[in-house]
Amino acid sequence: MKKFDNFISQFTDYVRRIQMQPRIRDVVREQLSAYADLHALTEGTVLTATRSRFLERINVNIFRVGFAILIVAVGTGGVAYASHDALPGDTLYPVKVGVVERLESAMLYDAKTRATWNAILAERRLSEAAALAVRGELDEETRLKLEERFEYHAARSAIAADEVRAKGNVAVALAVHSDLEARLAAHADLFSYLATEEGEAKKMLGTIARVRDTASAARQKTEAEIPGHLLAYDADDIDATASVTEEVARIAQGAGDTATGGIDARITAARAALSSARDSMARDESGVAYVATQVAARLTHEASILSKNRSLIALGKPSAPSPTPADTAAPAPAAASVSPVNSATMMMKVPDVSITATTSTEATTTPEEESEEDEDNAAQEETSSRDQPSSSESNESTSSETSKVESTVKKIINVLPGI
């Protein structure tokens, strides 16, 4: 029995040391706080708890705006959809981050999907910050909140990618690590255009660069683990990536604006990486070819993001961007110093997991991610209108839709009793 007691003692000691990371705990706390606001108590709620401090006596009140919004959101998919355009400070923003994104997140159990989804959310927070910065509405409080959420999602993306790697899917892990890095690197460039002297955008840029460096290190570490030969990887996958690269190049061609340099440099480097990948494949070094193709995919993804945000960049200061060395350096075929993108977006077959090969009109998105990308860039597209002749028309249209929804929400709030 003494042995058993010792066992229990050690087991207890071990398990009780398991704790949430303080930062994660704080972020969850913040989200719960927002959730409680959004799901405020209904009037007349009476709790008759017998013991709990928390549940003692309540005869409550309050029906907050958030609850009315929730009713609308649940009742009409339109509001939930419209909330994708919302920015911090908008009426619908709590619906976007507190309801819609949470519901979407709750569906994801697969580590790869979670990694990509969190990378999308991290980028979404950056896009929101960029949109606010362009409007001159990015204050310190909002920046800090967006930074916190951005870092949270970036961290979770990296953790999920590491989970994939831990299960032996190194090629897929490389793809998802690269996906995050591509989004961060492109937005670091974007913010370098937007940053003024000592403004909030500049502070945000510092945070993005730091997180990007972390993501880059994780990607390089994974890259080094790619074996020299990948069984299911072949030249068709290189061609698929090349077609996407050329599509992005075609869309970005002749823009003649501030962002063109960054985009062109990436397209050039992506082509060089693809050429290197073909050489490696000819030598039957499919693993090396895969890494080089991933480099091309990452650079293409970055170019695509910058291209989508060209009009936004044009509104920022016309200074040179500061891409990472890995962005501009000619990619090497070896796994050491080059960085891939997004095979979640760039669709390649990898040895242990098959990723569908598709080329979308938006160049770097798979069908499944295309809709996410659409949502993802909704905020950006308020100020970014690459394919539209008049960005102001687009903005007015989007703003008009959002205003309608907000107006509806306000009407409902006014009609509901006890508000």
Partner 1 sequence: MDQTELKADFLRTYDTYANDIYRFCAVKVTNRELAQDLTQEVFMRFWQTVRDGEKLRNERAYLYTLARNLIIDWYRKKKESSLDVLTDQGIDFGNDDHKKIEESAQMREVLEVINQLDDDAREALLLRYVEGFTPKEIAAMSGETANAVSVRINRAIKKVQGLIQAT
Counted residue by residue, the chain has a size of 419
d(CA 140, CA 199): 9
Q: From CA 365, how far away is CA 162, in angstroms rounded?
A: 23
Amino acid identity at 183: R
325 interacts with partner 1 by CB under 8 A: no
47 by DSSP, 3-state: which?
strand
CB of 36 to partner 1, least distance (A): 5
> In whole angstroms, what is the distance from residue 70 CA to residue 412 CA?
11
Q: How many CA atoms lie within 13 A of 308 on its CB side?
A: 25
> How crowded is the C-beta side of 222, counted as CA atoms within 13 Å?
34
CB atoms inside a 10 Å sphere around CB 307: 28
Spatial CA neighbour of 341 closest among 191, 190, 119: 119
Nearest distance from C-beta of residue 154 to partner 1, angstroms: 13
Segment interacting with partner 1 (CB under 8 A) among 58-66, 272-280, 300-308, 350-358: 58-66
Contact code string over 144-183 relative to partner 1, x by CB under 8 A: ------------x--xx-xx--x-----------------
Site for partner 1 in 68-107 (CB under 8 A): 105-106
Nearer to partner 1, 45 or 253 (CB): 45
Pick the binder of partner 1 from 53, 197, 254, 325 (CB under 8 A). 53
Query: Is 418 one of the binding residues for partner 1 (CB under 8 A)?
Result: no
Instruction: CB nearer to partner 1: give 222 or 380.
Output: 222
Binding residues for partner 1, rule CB under 8 A, total: 58
Piece in contact with partner 1 (CB under 8 A), picked from 48-56, 205-213, 363-371, 380-388: 48-56
Q: How far is the CB of 166 from partner 1 (least distance, A)?
A: 6
Classified as helix, coil or strand, 349 is strand
| Separation in Å, CA 366 to CA 143, 235, 342, 362 | 31, 19, 10, 9
Pick the closer one to partner 1 by CB: 205 or 215: 215
> Which positions touch partner 1 (CB under 8 A)?
3-4, 7-8, 10-12, 14-21, 24-25, 28-29, 31-33, 35-37, 39-42, 45-62, 64, 105-106, 109, 114, 156, 159-160, 162-163, 166
